[in-house]
Chains A and B, each alone.
Chain A
Amino acid sequence: MSWHKTPIALMAKALAAKEVSSQELTQYFLERIKAGQRWNAYLDVNAHLSLEQAAIADSLISSGKSSRLTGIPVAHKDVFVTRGWKSTAASKMLANYVSPFDATVVANLGLPTEQNPHGAGMVCLGKTNMDEFAMGSSNENSAYGPVLNPWNAEHVSGGSSGGSAAAVAAGLAPIATGTDTGGSIRQPAAFCGITGIKPSYGRVSRYGMIAYASSLDQAGPMGKTAEDCALLLTAMSSHDLRDSTSLADSGEDYARYLNQSWQAGSSSAKPLEGLRVGLPKEFFAEGLAQDVANAVQAAAKALQDLGATLVDVSLPKTKLSIPVYYVLAPAEASSNLSRFDGVRYGHRASEYRDLSDMYKKSRTEGFGAEVRRRILIGTYVLSHGYYDAYYLQAQKIRRIIAADFQAAFKQCDVILGPVAPDVAWRLGEKSKDPVQMYLEDIYTLSTNLAGLPAMSVPCGFSAQNLPIGMQLIGNYFSEAKLLQVAHQYQQASDWHLRQASEVA
């Protein structure tokens, strides 16, 4: 059985029917991880611990105490802290750091325990590679080397959740967690040809997620199908008293609309009848690769064929989302990363003259170039005399961007556009010019600034056979509806089922 090609929705049925055990599944993926090291998707694997969890999951299944996802293996982005696996955020600063507690996401998905009786019972396969502290769009900023794209090893996987995307695409995990601050779930999902969703801000607890930009960070699932993402998101999200920004009503079944038509009573041939899909003109303007434009237009046509109506909308401040994001995110990051000072844990320089020298050397040695760059930018924009001109101004435009979305949602139910201007670029191609790299985030940043849910769904391939993703953006708390649209699209398309030829 090719379990690596099996969506978790089917895997769950096989486990429940005792056609396979969690230990067998876990062993299967651990072997694939070992054989697939070339992608550099994982930073830490602990086979013994994974199999131990699988054995407990099997006993839960056999004693009838299992829930829907019990026994299914999952990989966690290294930004989530875990007991038993190192949590480095792909930084030298946290090399060998092991957390004394599990992130809420990890606990929610993990085995049920006394403190966490509602744990989903999934088995942790290990920690996936990422851009250092989630800062990057190509995974080339990892202190432990870039993740290679399973569709073409000369290309980047996208970032920052590149390890999770590549792990799912290369069949090294059935599903994985990611985080998205400015596109870090959606863009690598698009580059690797998988499905991912960034929920509304506050749906998933940030407790135990190593913070990059607190007001933008949001965790979400990365899987083969919209259905898989719906199942994982249902288990991930919760109202967490340890996260003040977590939403009070987060416990919902995100899979509840998947197999329904958009309107009651529509014909099965036109399940999306009544759905208004908005196409923002700014998302199809200059800078968008022709391959990508064609694929997304074709996807729009496919939705139309399923009964949806297409409408033109406008998000006039789209371009400003880049400077706004690259002021606000570094500002928060510069403060969030201050705790990495070499005093209590993490990297400390081996020699230093005094306290100030210790800070400087430890942080210069421990952080990579992009992280240092963003700390510098963030420190600058918060400084006395610049705060009003940069930080406050950016906050004002952030509110305007959010208002633009609300205006657009008066005309449509979901917004459709590309995830990124182009497909995965060659390794090193954009590394020399950080601004060039920042421009790649143009279609994803605004939803983080507004706090909206958005997802990436495979919708085609470029001329060089690299995956293309379409982006679906919904209004606040409309995840279940977004997933419904994506699921209906995936019932009528097979882009998400394609496998890279290099992945056996």
Chain B
Amino acid sequence: MQWEVVIGLETHAQLQTQSKIFSGASTRFGAGPNTQACPVDLALPGVLPVLNRQAVEHAICFGLAVGAKISPASIFARKNYFYPDLPKGYQISQFEIPVVVGGQLEILVGDEVKVVELTRAHMEEDAGKSVHEEGFIGPHGEASSGIDLNRAGTPLLEIVTEPVMRSAAEAVAYAKALHGLVVWLGVCDGNMQEGSFRCDANVSVRPKGQREFGTRCEIKNLNSFRFLEEAIQYEVRRQIELIEDGGTVVQETRLYDPDRQETRSMRSKEDANDYRYFPDPDLLPVVIDDGWISAVRQTMPALPAQLRAQWQSEFGLSAYDAQLLTQDRDTAKLFESLLALVDKSLAKAAANLITGEFASALNRAGISMANAPLQALHLAPLLKRIADGTISNKIAKDIFGILWEEALAGKAVSTVDQIIDAKGLKQISDSGALEAMIDQVLAANEKSVEEFRSGKEKAFNALVGQIMKASQGKANPGQVNELLRKKLG
């Protein structure tokens, strides 16, 4: 039987704000337990929530970026359940009327662009954290767990997709695109280790061609792209094997165990909570008028999808290059500033430099794009010298390496021309000099010449390689090709 996989994702993105969504306590990560929990976060008797305006603006910003409808009056509801890390006994969330409705996100799977439809995005508060360690003593001397409420009340945007993804790879591509977007917009810091961006995956399978969905399982709290991929792959296998062995999938919530690379049942639908949602009487409807929406729109950066479309049509970049360049705002910014310094015709070369040498140098050094030691003004001359034939691509790579090392070591960075001069890296394009070099190589490699003449094209490449080597990489490769053909022809 052929199976089709159906995946929908719910992503919790922590909204980047100074203070919590309903209190004035700080949202800074990593402080001592309960040092960032005020009376409102502790749910002391008599406290009331007050909505953080910044959180709403982030939600509006996200909604606009995905082309969604912004609700003119969304409602906060109470989701009631008991748990020690939930101080009020309810979570304030949006239920019937979320702030963001609909929208879509483009993702790139392989080199195919796919559109993921979003259902909604709603604001809510995070819960605290239980700490299960030895040494906590309750009021009656009993062994207990610890509770850290620093995270309680941290603003979240829960972004929900339609069940439109068909593979773990698509789900990961979506999660990466979403991650890129929220960080791009500045609404989320995207730090997955700190839990700022985490996914729940709803996974089901159905026989290919069947319209109805299969029974789904929800895998909670996947906080890395790798876990997301592994968990879905495992879950898909589990469900298919279960059905093929004559069993049925039970709707339930599951947890992924990265050590064992498997998902485990957490709770079934039967013992799922009845959350008794109802509108929170302590909070007014979140009224968002057109004025507020346009004010937020004005503060928004150009969107990655816009830039991609623009660069593909204006500069002829491939979808893949455009995707890489719009991974984050700093990369895109570098590309834009580089293009401001060089001719449009060098766009492809600029893209290659940034996504190639530059990216791998950053990667090796473990430096983020934002903190890169080299800037557009260092790189522009390199592109110009390739374009005017002064240096070859290969030499350009070497020069980049020199610039990089200098910058990394904190030294004054040389200019590209200084390096070319000092190291004599200028490309040899003088046909007389090249011909002399070619003659020498041909004389020393008679065997290869014969092989070429007897029809082995490979031998030609070997000869070119020898010539380049003899020139220490400085020979103009185009010219070498041309001259060599003439001589052998």
* Whole-angstrom CA separation of A382 from B275 in the bound complex: 9
Within 8 A of A (CB), among B10-60: 39, 42-51
**The one of A213, A242, A243, A344 that contacts B43, using a Cβ cutoff of 8 Å:** A344
B-contact bits for A336-362, CB 8 A (1 contact / 0 none): 011101011100101100010001000
* Whole-angstrom CA separation of A80 from B44 in the bound complex: 12
Contacts of B90 in A (CB 8 A): 335, 338
* Whole-angstrom CA separation of A241 from B84 in the bound complex: 29
Contacts of B50 in A (CB 8 A): 241-244
Interface centre among B49, B80, B89 (most CB of A within 10 A): B89
A-contact bits for B237-264, CB 8 A (1 contact / 0 none): 0000000000000000000000000000
Does A265 touch B at the CB level, under 8 Å? no
Interchain CB contact under 8 A, B48 and A206: yes
Interchain CB contact under 8 A, B45 and A81: yes
Does A332 touch B at the CB level, under 8 Å? yes
Contact status of A214 and B281, CB under 8 A, knowing A335-B276, A338-B90: yes
Interchain CB contact under 8 A, B138 and A100: no
Interchain CB contact under 8 A, B82 and A359: yes
Does B283 touch A at the CB level, under 8 Å? yes
* Whole-angstrom CA separation of A97 from B46 in the bound complex: 12
Contacts of A335 in B (CB 8 A): 78, 80, 89-90, 276, 278
Residue of chain B at shortest CB distance from A328: B281
Does B64 touch A at the CB level, under 8 Å? no
Does A94 touch B at the CB level, under 8 Å? yes
Interchain CB contact under 8 A, A214 and B282: yes
Contact status of A244 and B51, CB under 8 A, knowing A339-B87, A339-B88: yes
Contacts of B43 in A (CB 8 A): 339, 344
**The one of B39, B87, B278, B281 that contacts A101, using a Cβ cutoff of 8 Å:** B39
**The one of A207, A244, A350 that contacts B47, using a Cβ cutoff of 8 Å:** A207
* Whole-angstrom CA separation of A382 from B79 in the bound complex: 11
* Whole-angstrom CA separation of A89 from B46 in the bound complex: 11
Interchain CB contact under 8 A, A338 and B80: yes
Contacts of B138 in A (CB 8 A): 348
Does A384 touch B at the CB level, under 8 Å? yes
A-contact bits for B62-92, CB 8 A (1 contact / 0 none): 0000000000000000101010100111100
* Whole-angstrom CA separation of A331 from B50 in the bound complex: 21
Contacts of A341 in B (CB 8 A): 82, 84, 89
Interchain CB contact under 8 A, B39 and A387: no
Residue of chain A at shortest CB distance from B83: A355
Give how many A residues have a beta carbon under 8 Å from the other chain's beta carbons: 46
Does B274 touch A at the CB level, under 8 Å? yes
Contacts of B192 in A (CB 8 A): none
Interface size class of B (residues with CB under 8 A): 20 to 34
Interchain CB contact under 8 A, A348 and B139: yes
* Whole-angstrom CA separation of A350 from B88 in the bound complex: 22
Contact status of A97 and B45, CB under 8 A, knowing A244-B51, A343-B147, A383-B274: yes
Contacts of B281 in A (CB 8 A): 213-215, 245, 332
Within 8 A of B (CB), among A241-263: 241-245
* Whole-angstrom CA separation of A350 from B139 in the bound complex: 8
Does A209 touch B at the CB level, under 8 Å? yes
Residue of chain B at shortest CB distance from A378: B276
Does A103 touch B at the CB level, under 8 Å? yes
Within 8 A of A (CB), among B269-303: 274, 276-278, 281-284
Does B140 touch A at the CB level, under 8 Å? yes
* Whole-angstrom CA separation of A368 from B102 in the bound complex: 47
Interchain CB contact under 8 A, A243 and B276: no
* Whole-angstrom CA separation of A84 from B483 in the bound complex: 97
Contacts of A213 in B (CB 8 A): 281
CB distance from B288 to the nearest CB of A (A): 16
Majority SS at the chain A contact face: loop
Does A211 touch B at the CB level, under 8 Å? yes
Interface centre among B39, B45, B50, B87 (most CB of A within 10 A): B45
Majority SS at the chain B contact face: loop
Does A85 touch B at the CB level, under 8 Å? no
Interchain CB contact under 8 A, B87 and A391: no
CB distance from A47 to the nearest CB of B (A): 25
Contacts of A208 in B (CB 8 A): 46-47
Residue of chain B at shortest CB distance from A209: B46
Residue of chain B at shortest CB distance from A133: B45
Contact status of A244 and B282, CB under 8 A, knowing A100-B39, A343-B84, A343-B147: yes
CB distance from B265 to the nearest CB of A (A): 19
* Whole-angstrom CA separation of A120 from B45 in the bound complex: 24
CB distance from A133 to the nearest CB of B (A): 10
Residue of chain B at shortest CB distance from A382: B276
**The one of A334, A337, A348, A379 that contacts B140, using a Cβ cutoff of 8 Å:** A348
Residue of chain B at shortest CB distance from A81: B46
CB distance from A78 to the nearest CB of B (A): 11
Contacts of A339 in B (CB 8 A): 43, 45, 87-89
B-contact bits for A191-215, CB 8 A (1 contact / 0 none): 0000000000000001111110111
**The one of A243, A338, A345 that contacts B48, using a Cβ cutoff of 8 Å:** A243
CB distance from B107 to the nearest CB of A (A): 35
Within 8 A of B (CB), among A408-450: none
**The one of B47, B80, B84 that contacts A382, using a Cβ cutoff of 8 Å:** B80
CB distance from A205 to the nearest CB of B (A): 9
* Whole-angstrom CA separation of A208 from B87 in the bound complex: 17
Contacts of A245 in B (CB 8 A): 281-282, 284
CB distance from A218 to the nearest CB of B (A): 12
Contacts of B78 in A (CB 8 A): 335
Interface centre among A97, A344, A359, A384 (most CB of B within 10 A): A344
Contact status of A338 and B51, CB under 8 A, knowing A344-B87, A345-B44: no
Residue of chain A at shortest CB distance from B37: A344
Does A59 touch B at the CB level, under 8 Å? no
Contacts of A94 in B (CB 8 A): 45
Residue of chain B at shortest CB distance from A351: B140
Residue of chain A at shortest CB distance from B78: A335
**The one of A89, A214, A243 that contacts B45, using a Cβ cutoff of 8 Å:** A89
* Whole-angstrom CA separation of A331 from B51 in the bound complex: 23
Contact status of A344 and B49, CB under 8 A, knowing A214-B281, A339-B88, A384-B274: no
Does A87 touch B at the CB level, under 8 Å? yes
* Whole-angstrom CA separation of A208 from B39 in the bound complex: 10
Interchain CB contact under 8 A, B140 and A350: yes
* Whole-angstrom CA separation of A81 from B40 in the bound complex: 14
Does A99 touch B at the CB level, under 8 Å? yes
Residue of chain B at shortest CB distance from A211: B46
Residue of chain A at shortest CB distance from B139: A348
CB distance from A263 to the nearest CB of B (A): 37
Residue of chain B at shortest CB distance from A337: B89
Interchain CB contact under 8 A, B278 and A387: yes
* Whole-angstrom CA separation of A384 from B278 in the bound complex: 11
* Whole-angstrom CA separation of A191 from B42 in the bound complex: 38
Residue of chain A at shortest CB distance from B284: A244
Interchain CB contact under 8 A, A338 and B45: no
Residue of chain A at shortest CB distance from B79: A335
Contacts of A351 in B (CB 8 A): 140
Contacts of A207 in B (CB 8 A): 46-48
CB distance from A226 to the nearest CB of B (A): 29
Contacts of B44 in A (CB 8 A): 81, 99-101, 345
* Whole-angstrom CA separation of A102 from B43 in the bound complex: 15
Contacts of B147 in A (CB 8 A): 343-344
**The one of A89, A97, A244, A391 that contacts B283, using a Cβ cutoff of 8 Å:** A244
Extra pairs beyond A89-B45, A334-B276 (7, CB < 8 Å):
A97-B45, A99-B45, A207-B48, A208-B46, A245-B281, A338-B88, A382-B80
Residues of B near any A CB (own CB < 8 A): 39, 42-51, 78, 80, 82, 84, 87-90, 138-140, 147, 274, 276-278, 281-284
22 residue pairs bridging A and B, Cβ less than 8 Å apart: A80-B46, A81-B46, A207-B47, A208-B46, A210-B45, A211-B282, A244-B49, A244-B283, A244-B284, A334-B80, A334-B276, A335-B89, A338-B89, A338-B90, A341-B82, A341-B84, A343-B147, A348-B140, A350-B140, A382-B278, A383-B276, A384-B274
Ranked nearest first, the 8 interchain pairs of A and B with the lowest CB-CB distance are: A338-B89, A215-B281, A382-B276, A214-B281, A208-B46, A339-B43, A81-B46, A210-B45
